[in-house]
Structure 1
Amino acid sequence: MEDPPRPRAQRRRDTEQRLNHDVDLWVASASADGVPHLIPLSFDWDGAALLLSTPRDSPTGRNLAASRRAQLGLGETRDVTLIDGDVEVLAIDALAAAAGDRFAARTGFDPRTLKTPYCWFRVTPRRILAWREVDELADRELMRDGRWTVD
């Protein structure tokens, strides 16, 4: 027997659980001429934004820096959270040491130690959608314009 649709408040709690405990997500970006690019990256969530890091000259780094927009995917195909967000680009040495240390501890990866030039990308969610099955599609929007739409 299938589980009944989750109330929106439960979906928000589940989304926050994922943000606080998952380590990896999918990052979708596009080039200026519309070529899509999708890669997995590790992240840290500070309660307001997601922190990512990738080489500044990689397709994802170039796309995020140019467009200042990203779509992120957490979870599995039958329990997904999609996040549309605004991107802030930070030089690798511009981030406070404590934030970089937290990222490294959470992800097991410290881009500050690499020879390849990396950047930080801080993604502030503008819209968050979460659903498991078709019966949750109607109420999947949990955040709009950067504000939670459910307590």
Structure 2
Amino acid sequence: MTPPPARSAAQRTKDTLHRLENDVDAWVATAAPDGAEPCLVPLPFVWDGTSLLIATEADSPTGRNLVATGRARIGIGLARDVVLIEGAAQAVTPEELPEEDAEVFAGKTGLDPRRLADRYLYFRVVPQRVQAWRDGDERDATDLMRAGRWPSAG
């Protein structure tokens, strides 16, 4: 099977933004500051145009790692059509999160941490670097965002 032709950076950015707006599930990778084992978990997310909103148990390895380091790496999509995001994460308690944001999150993901017995935290992940590629022919120029800017959005 012949792979489709490589997309331009502008098209990959458009496709990436579409995926951020419409997908619900992501793989979230974190690591503890002490060099402990990295943690990779599937979590639902909501994209608001500038950040991803995720939620996880406060006492989970992912929750502890995000609080401790404020860093995450997120994978969205398939191995041959992937978006990778490196970002800064800020914890937000359910009480601090605006009601509208909590309702949007619950409505899109089906998860409402405000209603769960276990203590959850929301995290806003602001992308600092975004990469996307579909196949080998797009791997030479994978960066779509650098230092929090979309240079290819033009």
Q: TM-score range by the shorter chain?
A: over 0.9
Find runs of 4+ consecutive structure 1 residues off by over 6 angstroms.
Answer: none
Measured after TM superposition, the shift of residue 2 of structure 1 is 2.3
Q: Does 1:109 align with 2:111?
A: yes
Indicate the residue corresponding to 1:24 in structure 2.
25
Q: Residue 129 of structure 2 aligns to which amino acid in structure 1?
A: R
Q: 2:87 maps to what in 1?
A: 85
Q: CA deviation at 1:97?
A: 0.2
Aligned partners of 1:58 and 1:2: how far apart in 2?
40
TM-score (norm. length: structure 2): 0.96
Correspondence 1:10-21 to 2 at 5 A: 10-21=11-22
| Percent of matched pairs sharing the same residue | 49
CA RMSD of aligned residues (A): 0.7
Question: What is the CA–CA distance in structure 2 between the aligned matches of 1:88 and 1:123, rounded to whole Å?
Answer: 7
> Which residue in 1 is equivalent to 2:151?
149
* Matched pairs, number: 151
Letter in 2 for 1:71: R
Query: What TM-score, normalized by structure 1, do the two folds share?
Result: 0.98
Higher share in strand = 1
- The worse-fitting range, judged by mean Cα deviation, of 26-35 and 38-47 is 26-35
Show structure 1 runs of 5+ residues with no match.
none
1:36 corresponds, among 27, 35, 38, to 38
Q: Report the counterpart of residue 119 of structure 1 in structure 2.
A: 121
- 2:7 corresponds in structure 1 to 6
How far off is 1:33 after superposition? 2.2
Amino acid at match of 1:141: D
